[in-house]
């Protein structure tokens, strides 16, 4: 292997690692606030990627039917328990917001307003799936154990990925790159897409940091993450905190999907493996530390790019077996005995 | 269950497949149900009983299926020898996986199993040795007396017998000392550790047992289908097995069969109907199963079985004689000594300097106003927490830094301020859990029922301690249905069942009525007179003053007075601590 291949592999690894890092952040955020391990994050990624790629043909996104359908289901589910203003709020969030997004997307999609517009449309129609899933699957289980929430998350993943096959079909798609520009720095060549991915990742991380550091809503989310009951006692509506966490996760995951679409051909179920790599990174940080998760994600990306060079058939085997030393390391640091449930 | 019922089930298994006119398609469905139910039985033990979850049961099944397929096709070994080989390989893998993850919180095991299951799937699909995506074909069927058992009705018989065997093994294992230990993992781990249960072993046992069930299913699968390929062992299959256990009722063995039946039948009819609804090629059953899994967790978290069947109380054979009474150390010998204990939490010094000595046959009260450091001291003495400085000695041995399990092994037993009983065990079973270290039966001897005599003695001991604490008539009640005060007394009975020489009690009188307090006091006096060393942390002054031989009074983490109750009562420092100084 010469140095140009080495550099290309590292660069490749960092780019995909950046996307895993975004997903790891979303996963840590959702776990901290709601104790849910958001397995279906992968479907959000692949749905956004497919939507972005398919917007090229100028048709309204196929995923709209899913958005409206989940919205109606979430409304019916919630309407049993809501009255008065809560019912109106529920109606706005589950029917009117998705309806408006669907309407706008149907109008805008055929106009072919360019990649930036397509990216916005893809994120706007896919991200709201996440909070709708929260209302349907996880909010009713808010008091259940982590394990029950995890099983529910796996069930949701199964259902959503089946729906994905129904909506998108088995064919994969690849998106148009945001930029064809190539920047050359000495011997290293940076494709424009790679720069976009890294820039977007840094923006999201910076934005999240600022959100948690400087805004009241961010502080409320942090408080809920640290102590749910305590947060409720000082008047933070913790159910809303869960919804907000899922909104953020949905936006981040849909954004990652759009970023990844031009890099590789994405299939309806391809996001699952991408999301799972985010998990490997999130677990390194104990599902609690954002910086550790982000660094681990870059490492996962590099391991992946090197193993696809040396043993491409066993790429996934190597990446997921990589969780073993991570768990071993965590297990050796962990001693306490506590009651679960 | 009675042997007669099992015999009837065995007879039905042997006869039913051969009923004339029975469509072979039904027999083949029954085979699928049986194999799935064997895996689900393992998951009931792992998830329902021990509170852990694995999405990788299909992968473990795959390890077993590939093992037996490889050695029978490539080496020409008899399929019957494939079973021990497949089980041994699965055992080793499960043990390796378990030792990495079982010490972590439950969701790490579950996440780990997701990753492994994906990893193994790609390994099978890319490894030449196991035929990549095509898998291995031409696996020999089982044969008996030179006769190849190719007919599916033979398969149904063998699968049925395996399922019955698996259920009997599970029932036997759950009704044993290790069964109680595994049940304690769900909501009672701290209490179980305090009576010396090795939680790591209990977790490993549940995990390995479930893995062996999957291995049995994998072996049956390989020799019935006679083809193995990666698709049967992927993550989706793993999720389906978990769905079966959750749907049927993860805490109930018959639920495994119920869940397997429901899932296999629904799957089968979906495959007939869904192509009409959604067009061919769409595996829409995943949608139905995913939604079903979430809805069941929301609407009936205990599964379907408890909905259709009443909960049967377990009965236990009780021997005439209890366990032999353990000899108490000599009266007046040093039982527990604390010297210079200190514990800080960040900048807060919860215990600054605690020293005292407790002798055999002494009832020592540890009192002090709120925030004096009593609870922290209690944790330091019982091994639940460790001091930053100082020493704890138990019967002359340094036990500083020992875990609660090690303390229990050295004769210390405790109760908890907030009663910690195992929710899924009855009152007497909770007390029997206390005698865990006094039994010796291994899990294997429990499965083979070689532990019956020991168990009968353990239950006799539990009954004796319950009677001593005045709760004999509540023996078969659900532990968590008792009043809080009574739950504390059950904890004392559990501690006594461990046969301790030192007893630490954390506010045992709280929540008791006057009469109950008096009988508790009488019991504690009697125990003291038998030579037990008792440390009592108590808020109820009247109770502790009338009972304790000596008192240690703490305030702000230090000892401010020691001595007889009558002297302590007049001590100015104590009065100031309780009533507050003059500002």
Lowest mean pLDDT among A19-23, A128-132, B131-135: B131-135
Q: Do B100 and A321 touch (CB under 8 A)?
A: no
Tell me, yes or no, if B404 comes closer than 8 A to chain A by beta carbon: yes
Tell me, yes or no, if B190 comes closer than 8 A to chain A by beta carbon: yes
* Burial (CB count <10 Å: 0-12, 13-18, 19+), residue A215: exposed
Q: How far apart are CA B29 and CA B16, in angstroms?
A: 13
Q: What is the pLDDT of residue B458?
A: 93
> pLDDT, tens digit, for every residue of A204-218?
989 988 988 898 888
DSSP assignment of A119-139 equals HHHHHHHHTTHHHHHIIIIIG
- Give percent above pLDDT 70 in chain B: 96
Using the structure block, give the residue that is written with the tokens 């997701």: B114
Number of folded domains in chain B? Answer: 2
Average pLDDT, stretch B284-309? 82
Q: Confirm whether B114 is domain-assigned.
A: yes
Tell me, yes or no, if B26 comes closer than 8 A to chain A by beta carbon: no
Written as six digits, the tokens of A168 are 């998108």
Q: Do B287 and A338 touch (CB under 8 A)?
A: no
Burial A20-56 (b: 16+ CB within 10 A, else e): bbbbbbbbbbbbbbbbbbbbbbbbbbbbbbbbbbbbe
Q: How far apart are CA B204 and CA A331, in angstroms?
A: 14
Q: How far apart are CA A236 and CA B39, in angstroms?
A: 44
CA atoms within 13 Å, Cβ hemisphere of A26: 35
What is the pLDDT of chain B when averaged over all its residues? 88
Number of folded domains in chain A? Answer: 1
Q: How far apart are CA A118 and CA A17, in angstroms?
A: 24
Report helix angle B235-248 to B106-126, nearest 10.
140
Q: Confirm whether B248 is domain-assigned.
A: no
Question: Is residue A65 within 8 Å of A167, Cβ to Cβ?
Answer: yes
Q: What is the pLDDT of residue B250?
A: 73
What is the pLDDT of chain A when averaged over all its residues? 86
Q: Confirm whether A340 is domain-assigned.
A: no
Complex confidence, ipTM: 0.88
CA atoms within 13 Å, Cβ hemisphere of A107: 6
Q: What is the pLDDT of residue B214?
A: 97
Domain residues for B93?
3-229
Q: Confirm whether A338 is domain-assigned.
A: no
Higher pLDDT, A338 or B562: B562
Q: How far apart are CA B205 and CA A107, in angstroms?
A: 60
- Identify the CATH number of the domain in which residue B486 sits: 3.40.50.300
Q: What are phi and psi of B55, to 5 degrees?
A: -95, 5
Distance (Å) from the alpha carbon of B295 to chain A's nearest alpha carbon: 8
Which residues fall within 8 angstroms of residue B218, CB to CB, at 6 or more apart? B60, B61, B62, B63, B64, B65, B68, B86, B90
Minimum-distance CB partner of B119 among A166, A317, A334: A317
Q: What is the pLDDT of residue B106?
A: 67
Q: Do A155 and B292 touch (CB under 8 A)?
A: yes
Total number of residues shown for chain B: 583
Q: How far apart are CA A138 and CA A143, in angstroms?
A: 10
Q: Confirm whether A39 is domain-assigned.
A: yes
Q: Do B104 and A146 touch (CB under 8 A)?
A: no
Provide the pairing of β-strand B348-359 with B334-345: antiparallel
From chain A residues 225-284, the ones with a CB under 8 A of any chain B CB are 273, 276, 279-280, 283
Question: Is residue A131 within 8 Å of A250, Cβ to Cβ?
Answer: yes
A334 to chain B: which residues are within 8 Å by CB? 103-104
| Domain C-terminal end among B203, B229, B255 | B229
Q: Confirm whether B239 is domain-assigned.
A: no
Average pLDDT, stretch A240-267? 91
Which residues fall within 8 angstroms of residue B458, CB to CB, at 6 or more apart? B177, B323, B432, B435, B438, B439
Banded pLDDT at B276 (limits 50, 70, 90):
low
Nearest to B375 by CA among B237, B528, B214, B510: B510
> pLDDT, tens digit, for every residue of A42-62?
999 999 999 999 888 888 888
- Coil, strand or helix at B394: strand
Handedness of CA A5, A11, A12, A14 (dihedral sign): positive
Q: What is the pLDDT of residue A341?
A: 42
Nearest to B201 by CA among B99, B314, B345: B99
Give the chain B residue nearest A329 (alpha carbons).
B100
Average pLDDT, stretch B57-78? 93
- Give percent above pLDDT 70 in chain A: 97
Q: What is the pLDDT of residue A338?
A: 53
What is the phi-psi region of residue A41: left when phi exceeds 0, alpha when psi lies from -120 to 50, beta otherwise? alpha
Q: What is the pLDDT of residue B1?
A: 60
Minimum-distance CB partner of B107 among A146, A276, A334: A146
| Domain C-terminal end among B229, B258, B279 | B229
Q: Which residue spans within B158-239 are E strands per DSSP?
A: none
A154 to chain B: which residues are within 8 Å by CB? 55, 114, 239, 242, 293
Distance (Å) from the alpha carbon of B551 to chain A's nearest alpha carbon: 31
Distance (Å) from the alpha carbon of B254 to chain A's nearest alpha carbon: 21
Question: Is residue A188 within 8 Å of A12, Cβ to Cβ?
Answer: no
Q: What is the pLDDT of residue A310?
A: 85
Is the per-residue pLDDT at A281 higher than 80? yes
> pLDDT, tens digit, for every residue of B489-547?
999 999 999 999 999 999 888 888 888 888 899 999 999 998 999 999 988 888 888 89
Higher pLDDT, B478 or A251: A251
Banded pLDDT at B88 (limits 50, 70, 90):
very high
> pLDDT, tens digit, for every residue of B37-60?
999 999 999 988 888 888 889 999
The neighbour count for residue B315, using CB atoms within 10 Å, is 8
Q: Do B104 and A155 touch (CB under 8 A)?
A: no
Is the per-residue pLDDT at B163 higher than 80? yes
Is the per-residue pLDDT at A290 higher than 90? no
Nearest to B208 by CA among B104, B36, B91: B91
> pLDDT, tens digit, for every residue of B344-380?
988 888 898 999 999 999 999 998 888 888 889 999 9
pTM over 0.80: yes
Q: Confirm whether A339 is domain-assigned.
A: no
| Domain C-terminal end among B229, B261, B281 | B229
Written as six digits, the tokens of B216 are 């049995």
Question: Is residue A25 within 8 Å of A41, Cβ to Cβ?
Answer: no
Tell me, yes or no, if B55 comes closer than 8 A to chain A by beta carbon: yes
Is the per-residue pLDDT at A184 higher than 80? no
Q: Do B293 and A152 touch (CB under 8 A)?
A: yes
Q: Confirm whether B301 is domain-assigned.
A: no
Q: What is the pLDDT of residue B299?
A: 86
Question: How many interchain CB pairs under 8 A, A with B?
Answer: 160
Q: Confirm whether B93 is domain-assigned.
A: yes
Q: How far apart are CA B46 and CA A15, in angstroms?
A: 40
Minimum-distance CB partner of B298 among A141, A321, A340: A141
Average pLDDT, stretch B151-172? 93
Q: What is the pLDDT of residue B583?
A: 41
Is the per-residue pLDDT at B304 higher than 80? no
Higher pLDDT, B393 or B101: B393
Domain residues for A305?
3-333
Q: Do B55 and A154 touch (CB under 8 A)?
A: yes
Distance (Å) from the alpha carbon of B114 to chain A's nearest alpha carbon: 9
Q: Are residues B214 and B338 in the same domain?
A: no
Minimum-distance CB partner of B283 among A160, A162, A341: A162
> pLDDT, tens digit, for every residue of B537-582?
988 888 888 899 999 999 888 888 898 988 888 888 888 887 765 4
Distance (Å) from the alpha carbon of B239 to chain A's nearest alpha carbon: 8
Give the chain B residue nearest A168 (alpha carbons).
B282
Average pLDDT, stretch B208-232? 94
Query: Best of B50, B52, B55, B107 to disrupt the A interface by mutation (most A CBs within 10 Å)?
Result: B107
Tell me, yes or no, if B315 comes closer than 8 A to chain A by beta carbon: no
From chain A residues 306-335, the ones with a CB under 8 A of any chain B CB are 313-314, 316-317, 320-321, 323-324, 327-328, 330-331, 334-335
Going from the C-alpha of A242 to that of each of A33, A134, A251, A253, B394, the distances in angstroms are: 6, 8, 14, 16, 49
Query: Best of B102, B297, B301 to disrupt the A interface by mutation (most A CBs within 10 Å)?
Result: B297
Q: How far apart are CA B206 and CA B51, in angstroms?
A: 10
């Amino acid at each position: 292997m010469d140095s140009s291949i080495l550099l290309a592999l590292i660069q490749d690894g960092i780019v995909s690692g950046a996307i895993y890092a975004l997903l790891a952040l979303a996963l840590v955020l959702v776990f901290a606030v709601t104790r849910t391990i958001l397995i279906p994050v992968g479907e959000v990624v692949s749905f956004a990627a497919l939507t972005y790629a398919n917007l090229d043909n100028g048709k309204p996104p196929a995923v709209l039917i899913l958005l409206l359908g989940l919205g109606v289901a979430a409304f019916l589910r919630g309407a049993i328990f809501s009255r008065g203003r809560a019912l109106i709020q529920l109606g706005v969030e589950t029917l009117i917001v998705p309806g408006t997004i669907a309407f706008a997307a149907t109008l805008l999609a055929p106009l072919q307003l360019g990649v930036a517009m397509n990216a916005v449309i893809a994120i706007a129609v896919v991200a709201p799936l996440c909070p709708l899933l929260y209302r349907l699957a996880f909010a009713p289980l808010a008091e259940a154990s982590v394990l029950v929430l995890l099983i529910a998350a796996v069930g949701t993943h199964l259902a959503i990925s089946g729906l994905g096959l129904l909506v998108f079909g088995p064919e994969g798609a690849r998106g148009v790159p945001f930029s064809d520009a190539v920047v050359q720095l000495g011997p290293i060549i940076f494709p424009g897409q790679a720069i976009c991915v890294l820039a977007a990742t840094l923006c999201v991380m910076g934005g999240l940091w600022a959100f948690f550091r400087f805004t009241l809503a961010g502080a409320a989310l942090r408080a809920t993450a640290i102590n749910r009951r305590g947060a409720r006692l000082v008047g933070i509506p913790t159910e809303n905190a869960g919804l907000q966490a899922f909104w953020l996760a949905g936006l981040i995951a849909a954004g990652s999907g759009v970023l990844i679409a031009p890099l590789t051909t994405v299939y309806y179920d391809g996001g699952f493996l991408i999301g799972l790599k985010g998990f490997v990174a999130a677990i390194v940080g104990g599902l609690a530390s954002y910086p550790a998760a982000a660094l681990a994600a870059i490492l996962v990306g590099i391991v992946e790019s090197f193993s696809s060079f040396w043993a491409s058939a066993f790429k996934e085997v190597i990446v997921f077996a990589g969780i073993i030393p991570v768990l071993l390391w965590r297990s050796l640091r962990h001693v306490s005995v506590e009651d679960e449930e | 269950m009675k042997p007669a019922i099992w015999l009837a089930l065995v007879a039905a298994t042997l006869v039913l497949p051969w009923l004339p006119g029975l469509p072979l398609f039904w027999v083949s469905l029954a085979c699928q149900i049986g194999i799935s139910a064997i895996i689900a039985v393992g998951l009931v033990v792992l998830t329902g009983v021990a509170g852990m979850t694995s999405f990788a049961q299909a992968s473990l099944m795959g390890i077993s299926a590939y093992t037996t397929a490889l050695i029978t096709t490539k080496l020409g070994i008899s399929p019957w020898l494939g079973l021990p080989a497949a089980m041994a390989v699965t055992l080793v893998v499960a043990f390796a996986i378990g030792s990495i993850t079982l010490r972590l919180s439950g969701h790490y095991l579950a996440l780990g199993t997701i990753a492994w299951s994906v990893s193994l799937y790609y390994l099978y699909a890319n490894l030449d040795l196991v035929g990549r995506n095509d898998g291995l074909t031409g696996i020999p069927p089982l044969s008996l007396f030179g006769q190849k058992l190719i007919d599916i009705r033979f398969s149904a018989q063998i699968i049925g017998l395996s399922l019955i065997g698996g259920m009997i093994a599970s029932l036997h294992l759950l009704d044993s000392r290790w069964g109680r230990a595994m049940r304690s993992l769900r909501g009672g781990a701290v209490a179980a550790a305090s009576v010396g249960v090795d939680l790591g072993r209990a977790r490993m046992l549940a995990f390995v047992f479930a893995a062996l069930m999957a291995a049995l299913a994998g072996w049956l699968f390989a020799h019935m289908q006679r083809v193995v390929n990666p698709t049967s062992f992927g993550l989706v299959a793993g999720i389906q097995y978990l769905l079966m256990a959750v749907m049927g009722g993860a805490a109930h063995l018959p639920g495994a069969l119920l869940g397997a039946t429901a899932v296999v039948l629904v799957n089968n009819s979906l495959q007939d109907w869904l192509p009409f609804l959604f067009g061919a090629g769409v595996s829409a059953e995943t949608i139905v199963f995913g939604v079903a899994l979430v809805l069941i967790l929301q609407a009936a978290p205990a599964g379907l079985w408890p909905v259709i069947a009443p909960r049967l109380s377990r009965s236990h054979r009780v021997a005439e004689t209890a366990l032999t009474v353990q000899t108490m150390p000599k009266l007046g010998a040093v039982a527990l000594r604390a010297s210079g204990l200190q514990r800080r939490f960040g900048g807060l010094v919860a215990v600054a300097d605690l020293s005292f000595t407790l002798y055999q046959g002494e009832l020592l009260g540890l009192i002090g106003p709120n925030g004096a450091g009593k609870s922290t001291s209690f944790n330091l003495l019982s091994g639940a927490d460790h001091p930053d400085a100082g020493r704890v000695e138990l019967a002359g041995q340094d036990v500083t830094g020992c875990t609660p399990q090690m303390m229990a092994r050295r004769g210390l037993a405790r109760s908890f301020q907030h009663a910690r009983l195992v929710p899924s065990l009855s009152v007497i079973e909770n007390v029997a859990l206390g005698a865990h270290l006094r039994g010796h039966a291994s899990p294997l001897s429990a499965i083979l029922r070689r532990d019956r005599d020991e168990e009968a003695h353990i239950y006799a001991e539990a009954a004796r301690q319950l009677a001593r604490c005045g709760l004999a008539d509540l023996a078969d009640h659900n532990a968590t249905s008792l009043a809080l005060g009574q739950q504390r007394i059950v904890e004392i009975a559990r501690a006594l069942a461990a046969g301790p020489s030192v007893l630490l009690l954390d506010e045992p009188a709280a929540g008791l009525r006057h009469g109950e307090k008096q009988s508790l006091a009488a019991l504690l006096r009697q125990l003291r007179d038998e030579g037990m060393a008792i440390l009592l942390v108590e808020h109820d002054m009247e109770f502790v003053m009338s009972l304790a031989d000596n008192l240690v009074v703490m305030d702000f983490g230090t000892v401010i007075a020691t001595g007889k109750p009558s002297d302590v009562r007049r001590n100015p420092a104590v009065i100031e601590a309780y009533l507050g100084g003059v500002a």
